[in-house]
Amino acid sequence: MMAFEYLKALHIIFVVTWFAGLFYIVRLFIYQVEALEKTEQEKAILMPQLNLMAQRLWYIITWPSAILTLILGFWVLYYRWGYMQLGFMHAKLGFVLVLYIYHIICHKIFKDLQNGIAKWTSTQLRMWNELATLLLFAIVFLIVLKSLISVVWGIVGLLGLSVLMMLGIKWYKKVREKANP
C-alpha cells in the first residue's frame, strides 16, 4: 500500500511539471512569433535565445514529464483498476487523451518555430494556451470529485470559464493594440 502512495505522489509531481512545461512552452511560442515580426537585427538577437529556451524546456522538462506521467498514471490505475468501472474515470481518461493530442500539436508548433515558420498568430496561441487550462480544470475536478453529476456542472463551469478567458484575451489584445499602435 505504501508503494501505491509513492507512485501516486510521483504521478502528481510529473503532472505538475508537465503542465508547467505546456503552459510555458506556449508562452515561448508567443514570444517567438512576435520576435519573427521584429526587424532583422532584433530577430537575430531574440530568435536564437528563444529557440534555445524552447528546446531546453520541451526536451528536458515537458516531454520527459509527459512520458513519466503516462507511465506512472497507468501504474496508479493498475492499483485502482476498479475505477475503470466508474464513468468519471472514462471521462477523465478522455480529457487526458485530448491533453496528449494537445501536446502533440504543441510539438508540431515547436518544430515549425524552430525552423522559423509561424503558422499561428500570437493571438491564436494565447487562445490555444487556454485549452491546457481548461483541460487541467476538467481533469482535476473529475479525479477529485469522482462524480459524473459533478462533470455536468463542471462542463457548465468550464464553458463559463472559457467565455471569461476569451473575453480576457480580447480585452488584453485591445490593451496591447492601444499601447503599441
Annotated binding site for heme, which residues? 11, 92
- For residues 57 and 59, give the distance between their C-alpha atoms in angstroms, rounded to a whole number: 6
Say if residues 107 and 45 touch (Cβ distance below 8 Å).
no
Cα atoms found within 13 Å of the Cα of residue 95, Cβ hemisphere only: 22
If you search the block for the grid coordinates 512520458, which residue do you land on? 67
DSSP 39: -
Q: Where are the alpha helices (DSSP H) in the chain?
A: 2-36, 40-56, 63-79, 87-114, 122-145, 148-179
Which residue numbers belong to the known binding site?
A: 11, 92
